[in-house]
Structure formats: C-alpha cells, structure tokens
A and B are shown apart, each in its own frame.
Chain A
Amino acid sequence: MIHFDQVTFTYPTTPAPVLRDISAHIAEGELALLVGATGSGKTTLLRAINGLVPHFSGGHLAGSVTIDGRRTQDYPPRELADLVGFVPQDPMSGFVTDLVEDELAYAMESLGVDQQTMRRRVEETLDLLGLSDLRNRALRTLSGGQQQRVAIGAVLTAHPKVLVLDEPTSALDPGAAEEVLAALHRLVHDLGVTVVLAEHRLERVVQYADSILLLKDGQLSIASPSTAMADSPIAPPVIHLGRLAGWSPLPISIRDARRCAGPLRSALIDQRPRLHAVPESSPAIATVTDLDVGYGRTPVLSDISLQFNAGEIIALMGRNGAGKSTLLRSLIGLQTPERGTVRLDLAVEGASHSADPSQLNSRELLHQVGLVPQEPSDLFDAQDVAHECRNSDRDAGCAPGTTRALLALMAPSIIDSTHPRDLSDGQQMLLALCIIVAAKPPLLLLDEPTRGLDYPTKAKLVDILRGLAETGHCVVMATHDVELVAELATRVVILGDTEVVADGSTVDVVTGSPMFAPQVAKILAPQPWLTVGQVHDALARSHKLEDL
C-alpha cells in the first residue's frame, strides 16, 4: 500500500538529509507504529506519505514514495486527499470550520462528493467514532479526546485507504487516549484501513501495532513488535520487565505479561518496594485553603485544600479539563480565586512569613515560584539560545552564565546559535526548565512536562527533578503520564469534577486504579510495585536475579 523506494530528503535550510536512503513497504490493512527519538524526522516521514513533504515543506526529495500506485512526486497533497488521510499533531490547529458536522464534511466537499453519499458517510462516521451526540457542537467547546476523534473522522469521511496520525494521544488523558486507540483499532479490523502512526508513549500503543518502524539517524528499519522490542532501547516498561524476568517470547501486552508473571510474583512475595522517603518534618512551602475558582458561571475548582511541602514531588492527575492547569495557575497567582486563599511560605532572612502570590511583584515572585508552561515556547522571546540564557540571568539576578551552565548540564547537545523555537519539543522544555530553575524558586510547577518527550529525555528529566526535590524544592507537576508518575512522584493528587478525589502516596493512589496504574503495577497486582527499577533492586537485594 505504502512504498518507499530509496527515499532521501533534505530540508532547504539544513545541509544534512533528514531521511537517508529509506526503502520500506507497508502492506494493506496494517497498523504500523513509527518510533524514534525527538527530532529524528518522524513528522517528516509521515508528511512524505501524503505529499506535504516535499510539496508543502520545500526541500529536495530523491527516490520515490508510492501510495497505492500514485507517486507523491506527481500528485500534490490535495490530489492525494481521497487516498491518504493526514491527522496533524494538534487537531485544533487543523480545523477549518466551526461545527463538528461541517468539519466531517469538509474533505468530501473539496473532493466534490455528491449530496447523498456525503450524508451517508457523515452519519456512518459519527457512529463509528462515537460522535453522534456532538454533531451540532462547536469544535472549540470539545475536550481534547473529542477533538482528536473529530480530526480522525474529518479525514475518514473521504474514505482514504491510508490513515496517517502524528502523536494522536500525546495531549490526552489515559481514558481519552484509550477511546482514540479503540477507534483506530476498529478501523484497521473492520474497514481494512492502513494506519501509520507516530507515538512516543509506546506503553499506550505498542500492543495494537502489527509492525514497528524504527527511525534512527535518518535510517528506517521495520520489524514485528516482538523482534523490534527485544533489543530496542526505546521500549515501554512491560518490555523492560519482560527482559528483566527473561520471559520468552517477550510479551507485548499487559494481558500476556500477567500470564507469564506468576513466578516473578512469588519471587517478590516477601519484598516491599523501597520508596523515596520525604522527611516527616519538612516545612510547608505553599498552602491552599478552601479554594474556589470558576470561569464565568462554570466552577473549575471547588473547596480545594492542599499543603505542598519541601522535598515532595507531587503529581496532579485527572482527565482533560479537570482543573489541573487552573490549580497551577492559582499557585503562581495568575488566577484570582473566588473564595479561599493561596499562601506561599517565604523564608526571608531567617524569619518566615507567608504571602499571596498574586500580591508579589513579578521580580519577587520569580524567586518564590516558577512555572514551566504547557507550551514552553511561550516563555521565549530572544532570537537564539545564548540570548535567551543571558536574559534569564538578568531577570533572575544571578551571575552571568548560570542559565547556560545549567542548560549544558541538562541538554549538552543544544547549540548556542539555534533559535529557541527551532529546538525540538524536549529541548524547548529543558530550556524553559533551566530559565525557571535559574532563579531557584522553592516551588517548581510543571504543566504536562513530558508531552512529546522521548524515553531518554524523559529519563533525564526524572533525574533532574529528583535532584531538585532532594535539595529542598517542592515539585508539582500536572501530567497524564502514568509511567512518569510511577517513576518520580512521592505523592499523587487526583482532581475530578472540580474537587480533590484522592490525595496520598503514589503507591496508595495509583495501584488498583485501572486508569492511573502504571504497567508494572497492572502486571504484578496485587503487589504494590510501580517501576521496573524497584523490581530490579528488590531482586538484586534478595539475590534472586540469577534464578529468573
């Protein structure tokens, strides 16, 4: 169905090719998962399938990409629209109309499909993706998962044989991600659509894939999931656990892994995971009391009381729109509460007193609390990384070079002369983190820090944040990433329906929850293990590693 023949692609602005001599074939009805580090050219490869590369992007493409007999050289994207459906990373930015139903019909209108067929296909697609309740809704009022399903439906109505998706679940909570993946699964099984999708969170998708496309240094290799995962450094926890326990064949899904896990569970029966303990007496850094926040008449947070202590790493979880970002904004004084208070405990010259963050001037605030926003690029305004770091030193009033040194530590590969917006998602996040950390705020807030981050960058982030917590910072992160939470958080707060639904240590809150449990916890339930690292340490301690 999709045929790459010796494809080499070079962007006009960079001398080195992004894709080198790629030859591959994806068969009809296959679900292919594209894997690779951030900035490895995944999006470029996906866009080459529907001709956006090179027709839209510019640059030079050698070799040929053929989709169902049509070479992309001869057909611009609009002439391939009936064959390839392309769903971009941010669905909202690709919507053309205002209403769900109009958006579903848009591609068909462009293709000149007749009235009756359009009516029929729109109805079918509404049913297929579970959107029929939303048909008259304005697109802007939908939740993230609903938007993503509309974006998929909007290309499906053209009846493409190939569906290409760029990180379809990266912005979604675990529940919404499952809705989207279930819809894709159905398309592949019932309609025989060929699907190619790129995704960093392998733990969510790898069990659905028929083949893995691994993109590394511009080279592409194809393998079946179990072979690809056997030695890939990029792998979800279930694979790492399988390798540790020596399971063969390597299980890909939770269900298969549970069936192999009997011996491992009995080996661990008398063990308990070692946890990062937070000292009992650690001082409070921020206190939220009886907080109510609303937008207009809609309540977003009601009756929230929480205390944030030094040394803690707190994960805020809950579905899209549960109020996580609003709580972070309240903590930094950007959101005026309707009721209740937010107090930051300041330690100034030994004596401690507390203050409302919205009353502090921005220079004082900078040294008390910092927020890494969901779109890190919102923080940037300089023309290159070096200037950005210099501005940061000046803002924070620290010695020149502080931010640059931090950045060199966190992300050594970043070059001074790069424009901040040209950095990859992960690099942008790390740069924003350095800018915020340079002022040494005791309270550090992060909004969805792992969106679009690959596993190595994520591991680095875990180390950095853990280091900050050990030196007395309090880290609060709003996230959908259950594996990150399992790895890093000491405490989990779940928000639901504007209130705090659960608040407790990570183990207590996430194990047993079908939505928020990490893979290891699901495999080894009812035992309270969260990460492969914990299991490894426990086995090493009891000298059972060799037995497995």
Chain B
Amino acid sequence: MTSRMRPRWLHPMAWWAWALCLAAAATRVTNPLLLLLLIAAAAIVVGARKPDAPWGKSFEFFLILGGLIIGIRVVFQVIFGASTGNTVLITLPGISLPTWMSGLRLGGPITLESLLGAFYDGLRLATIAIVIGAANSLASPGKLLKAMPAALYELGVSVVVALSFIPQLITDFVRIRDMRRLRGRNDRGIRGYVSLAIPVLAGALDRSINLAASMDSRGYGRVSNQSASSRRLVVGLLMASIVLVMVGLYGLFTTAAHPVLGLPVVIMGLVAGGASLWRGSRERVRTVYRPDPWLLPEYLVIGSGLAVLGIFLWAEFRVGANINLWEQLHPSLDAWPTLPLWGIAAFLIALTPAMASPRPPSNSSSTRNTNEVEAVSA
C-alpha cells in the first residue's frame, strides 16, 4: 500500500486529531509502560513520516522538553512535596513550616514511593508534550492554517505569526549577544539581559511591520463588498455564542443553577457560533490553493487515534467491573507495573499512520548547491 501511494501532504487536521487523541489517552493513565508505549508510537510515526523541512526537526526539541518536564517534576517533589510511603531513601535537612501551610514541606525524608509517583506524573505530562510535538513536526502550524474556516482565518494568522516569531526571537537573541561581545561588554545577569532586550525587541518590531506591509500589499484581508449590517450580524452572532456557551457551562458544572441553564444553552451557543462562522465564511473572497484532500488515509489516521482513545476510555469505564484494570491504569507505587494486553493492542493501532499515511513530498535539498554557478577559479 505504501509503495503505491503518491507522496503528498496528509491533511493537517488528521495529524492533529490523531495526536490530540493520543494526548487525551495519556491523561487517563499513570502506568509508565503505557505512557512509554504512547511515546514510542509517536516517535516511530514521526520517524516514518516527518517531512524534510525545518518544522520536521522540531520533534527532538519536544523530546528534550519532555525530559525537562520529568526532571522539574521530580526536583519539585524532592524539595516541596509531601512524602508518602515508607521506603526512606535519604533524609534531607528540612524546615518544618507553620501549621497553616500544612501540605507544604521543605526538605525532610525522601521516600522511593514519592519519587516514583512524581516520576509517573512527570512522565504523563511529558507524554502529552511529546505527542503534541509529533503533530507539530508532522504538520506545521502554517499547514493547519490553510484548513481553517475562512471567517477564523485572520485570527489563525495572528496565532501562527506569533508562533513563528518565537524561534526567530531566539536566533536574534543569540546573534545580538554575540555582538555585545564585539563591543567589549561583559555584562551578565539581569542587567545584561535587559540591555539585550531592547535591540532584540526593536528588531522583532521592525520585522513584524515588514510582514504586515507585505501581507497588506498581497491582498490580505480583502473583503468582497461586505455590507456593514452583515458584518454586525456576524459579530453579533459570535458574541451571543460566547455568552451562551459560558452561561451553559456554568449551568452544567454548578448544582445550584436551574437545569435549563445547562446543556440546552450550550447547544444554543454552539449553533449561534456555527451560524456566525458560516455567514462570515460566505462573505470572504478567499480561496484555498490545492486544499489537502480528505481521503482514505485521513480516515485511517484519525480512526487510529480515536480507537486508541476509545480503548483507554473503555478500560477506565470497566474499572468498576474489573478491579485489575485500576492497577493497570494507575499501578501502585510499591510494585512493578504490568503491561496489559489491551495496551499493546492500542500501541499497534497507534502505529497505523506510519503505514497508512502517504509520504510527504521530498525536499530535493541535494540540488541546493549544485544548480548554482560554481565560483570561478582564477
């Protein structure tokens, strides 16, 4: 199947939906073996299908981020966390805090159980970050933007532009810090960073003004003779939708409110929002160049994500009937965690995209230097 599929970009929504399903599944468990399997699935799929483009390389960064998250979680546990269990590994010098700060602790005995608990918890957060990172490297935020409904397009652009500025700010920061050295400056610490901030931000401001000018002169934000009344309608519907959803959610989660304030209001709000989007999109002149099609591979990818999430939710749902499942989802801290059969099944299903999705178009980066004129030797 793979060999016969023409290379193309998979629909970005499919990648993001798959990854969000895996992330949602990760939130349901603390079993490190299950979490590691989810990470492994994400890594294998990224390895098989990441494009040879700058954003394709971002996965490594998210792996490092995951490691950092675990590290920070464990360190916080050592310093502040309350100890549970009784396998004391080491006792740090501690301060006993006044009783009104109960639950907080500085130093004191460190138990294996509390460390392990912190590690499991950190691993869960890290898994979520890594799985989202997989989506980020498989489909860039810019690609996702193309699939946005037209009425939300402007909002999407501002988010994507903001995201693309962060890596740029980091490069600027490094470059300007180098330049400070050329001026014989040695300043470190807060003062050094503050004096760096001015040129870095000034550069970023210049660049965003350039980008805005370029977008404006290329027709960004053209509206086909949209009348003032229709614009008011679109905005009005959107505002009503937000208010209705807020009120509805409040009704859903508080017991004091009248039952009518719950689900019906949320649904009304969603309908109003949908109408606003539909009406707004109809007014736009925008078209989309080569929209990514939604074909069988997209269904398979999104289906794989949903199936994984389904398995995890099923296991959680069945805990009442089968007490072993609780141990499999949230292993106790004094025994080696077990890997259930359904976990392996979920792992295999999560791997589907590595086979079922088309390869991204190749980059032909090797032609970069060869098609330019060779420098002339004297």
B-binding residues in A (CB < 8 A): 47, 50-52, 55-56, 76-82, 84, 86, 88, 90, 93-99, 101-102, 105-115, 118-119, 122, 133-134, 136-138, 140-143, 145, 154-155, 158, 175-176, 317-319, 322, 329, 332, 334, 361-363, 365-366, 370-371, 373, 377-381, 391-392, 395-396, 421, 435-436, 439, 494-497, 501-502, 504, 508-510, 512-516
B327 beta carbon closer than 8 Å to chain A? no
Closest chain A residue, CB of each to CB of B53: A138
Q: Give CA–CA (A435, B53) in the complex, Å.
A: 39
Asked, given contacts A94-B210, A111-B222, whether A504 binds B181 with beta carbons under 8 Å apart, the answer is: no
Taking a contact as CB atoms under 8 Å apart, the answer to whether A77 and B217 are in contact is: yes
Taking a contact as CB atoms under 8 Å apart, the answer to whether B362 and A495 are in contact is: no
Asked, given contacts A90-B210, A110-B222, A158-B218, whether A98 binds B375 with beta carbons under 8 Å apart, the answer is: no
Closest chain B residue, CB of each to CB of A436: B182
Closest chain B residue, CB of each to CB of A373: B179
**Which residues in B have their C-beta under 8 angstroms from that of A370?**
182
| Nearest 5 Cβ contacts at the A-B interface | A94-B214, A81-B219, A112-B285, A496-B375, A105-B289
Q: Give CA–CA (A231, B46) in the complex, Å.
A: 64
**Which residues in A have their C-beta under 8 angstroms from that of B284?**
112
Q: Give CA–CA (A371, B224) in the complex, Å.
A: 52
Q: Give CA–CA (A254, B305) in the complex, Å.
A: 65
Taking a contact as CB atoms under 8 Å apart, the answer to whether B184 and A380 are in contact is: no
Taking a contact as CB atoms under 8 Å apart, the answer to whether A109 and B185 are in contact is: no
The residue from A82, A141, A381 contacting B368, defined by CB atoms under 8 A apart: A141
Taking a contact as CB atoms under 8 Å apart, the answer to whether A98 and B210 are in contact is: no
Taking a contact as CB atoms under 8 Å apart, the answer to whether B378 and A512 are in contact is: yes
Q: Give CA–CA (A439, B143) in the complex, Å.
A: 50
CB distance from B54 to the nearest CB of A (A): 5
Asked, given contacts A96-B211, A109-B288, A501-B377, whether A373 binds B182 with beta carbons under 8 Å apart, the answer is: yes
Taking a contact as CB atoms under 8 Å apart, the answer to whether A115 and B219 are in contact is: no
Taking a contact as CB atoms under 8 Å apart, the answer to whether B54 and A138 are in contact is: yes
Taking a contact as CB atoms under 8 Å apart, the answer to whether A396 and B53 are in contact is: no
Taking a contact as CB atoms under 8 Å apart, the answer to whether B185 and A155 are in contact is: no
Among B152-179, those with CB < 8 Å from A are 157, 175-176, 178-179
A-binding residues in B (CB < 8 A): 53-55, 140, 142-143, 146, 157, 175-176, 178-186, 195, 198-199, 202-203, 206-207, 210-222, 224, 284-290, 361-365, 367-369, 371-378
Closest chain B residue, CB of each to CB of A496: B375
Taking a contact as CB atoms under 8 Å apart, the answer to whether A516 and B376 are in contact is: yes
Asked, given contacts A86-B217, A102-B289, A106-B218, whether A175 binds B372 with beta carbons under 8 Å apart, the answer is: yes
Taking a contact as CB atoms under 8 Å apart, the answer to whether A502 and B377 are in contact is: yes
Asked, given contacts A93-B211, A504-B378, whether A111 binds B186 with beta carbons under 8 Å apart, the answer is: no
Closest chain B residue, CB of each to CB of A439: B184
**Which residues in A have their C-beta under 8 angstroms from that of B221?**
78, 110
Q: Give CA–CA (A155, B361) in the complex, Å.
A: 24
Taking a contact as CB atoms under 8 Å apart, the answer to whether A81 and B217 are in contact is: yes
**Which residues in B have their C-beta under 8 angstroms from that of A515?**
373, 375-376
**Which residues in A have their C-beta under 8 angstroms from that of B213?**
47, 52, 56, 77, 88, 94
- Apart from A133-B371, A494-B375, A501-B377, 17 more pairs, CB < 8 Å: A56-B216, A81-B222, A82-B219, A93-B211, A108-B287, A110-B219, A110-B222, A112-B224, A145-B372, A322-B375, A362-B184, A377-B203, A379-B182, A396-B184, A496-B375, A497-B369, A515-B375
**Which residues in B have their C-beta under 8 angstroms from that of A392?**
183
The residue from A82, A97, A107, A508 contacting B142, defined by CB atoms under 8 A apart: A97
**Which residues in B have their C-beta under 8 angstroms from that of A90?**
210
Of B180, B183, B207, B224, the most chain A CB neighbours within 10 A belong to B183
Closest chain B residue, CB of each to CB of A376: B179
Taking a contact as CB atoms under 8 Å apart, the answer to whether A110 and B363 are in contact is: no
The residue from B54, B184, B363, B365 contacting A366, defined by CB atoms under 8 A apart: B184
CB distance from B193 to the nearest CB of A (A): 12
Of B198, B218, B220, B362, the most chain A CB neighbours within 10 A belong to B218
**Which residues in A have their C-beta under 8 angstroms from that of B290?**
101, 105, 115, 118-119
Q: Give CA–CA (A320, B179) in the complex, Å.
A: 21
The residue from A98, A141, A495 contacting B365, defined by CB atoms under 8 A apart: A141
Taking a contact as CB atoms under 8 Å apart, the answer to whether A395 and B183 are in contact is: yes
Q: Give CA–CA (A289, B53) in the complex, Å.
A: 35
Closest chain B residue, CB of each to CB of A320: B372
CB distance from B289 to the nearest CB of A (A): 3
**Which residues in B have their C-beta under 8 angstroms from that of A102?**
142, 146, 289
**Which residues in A have their C-beta under 8 angstroms from that of B143?**
98
**Which residues in A have their C-beta under 8 angstroms from that of B185?**
362, 395
Of A362, A366, A439, the most chain B CB neighbours within 10 A belong to A362
Closest chain A residue, CB of each to CB of B146: A102
**Which residues in B have their C-beta under 8 angstroms from that of A94?**
210-211, 213-214
23 contacts between A and B (CB under 8 A): A56-B212, A56-B213, A78-B222, A81-B218, A95-B214, A101-B289, A105-B289, A106-B218, A108-B289, A110-B219, A118-B287, A133-B364, A137-B363, A138-B53, A318-B375, A362-B182, A362-B186, A365-B182, A378-B199, A379-B179, A379-B182, A496-B374, A514-B376
Taking a contact as CB atoms under 8 Å apart, the answer to whether B199 and A381 are in contact is: yes
Q: Give CA–CA (A228, B179) in the complex, Å.
A: 42
Taking a contact as CB atoms under 8 Å apart, the answer to whether B217 and A84 are in contact is: yes
Closest chain A residue, CB of each to CB of B215: A96
